[in-house]
Amino acid sequence: MISFDTQLISQVNFQLPRLENEREASHFNAAPRLALLDGDAMPIPVKLDILAITSTAKVVDYEIETERYNKSAKRASLPQFATMMADDSTLLSDVSELDTVPPQSQTLTEQRLKYWFRLADPQTRHHFLQWAEKQPPS
């Protein structure tokens, strides 16, 4: 898990170690390290932790595991994201949207989009809406 604040940063560059063989991957798994740099190559402070998967299921639901981690108050947790994901049904524009339950990943994506949209300034919102209108239907 990695958390960092980019509110005042316009560009983020990830600096990752080589992971080209089993030995390098094992070393990274044992002691993960990476760096984030802004557009001027200045380091961005990060909090790094390991997401311990407790589920014994064959397929891991990383959204649930991430939400659980964010509620845990561990080093890199972001409790505001765990809280945000709880219930934003009051933001839905129409009752018909509640008629069918979307897949969990779709719900989470929509919640995140709404969250970031509310944080954006009016000009950014306008540009985003213009972009969204130009996208082909899926």
Q: What does the pLDDT look like over 73-132, one tens digit per residue?
A: 899 998 887 765 445 555 555 555 445 555 555 667 788 888 888 888 899 899 999 999
Domain definitions of the chain by residue range? 1-48, 52-86, 87-138
Enclosing H/E stretch for 117: helix 104-119
pTM: 0.52
Amino acid letter, residue 3:
S
Per the DSSP assignment, residues forming a β-bridge with 44 are 36
Q: How far is CA 132 from CA 49, 107, 125, 136, in A?
A: 35, 18, 10, 9
Asked which of 13-22, 35-44, 88-97 is least confident by mean pLDDT, the reply is: 88-97
Tell me the C-alpha distance between 66 and 81, whole Å. Answer: 10
> Is residue 50 classed as helix, strand or coil in its secondary structure?
coil
The residue assigned the tokens 């014994």 is 56
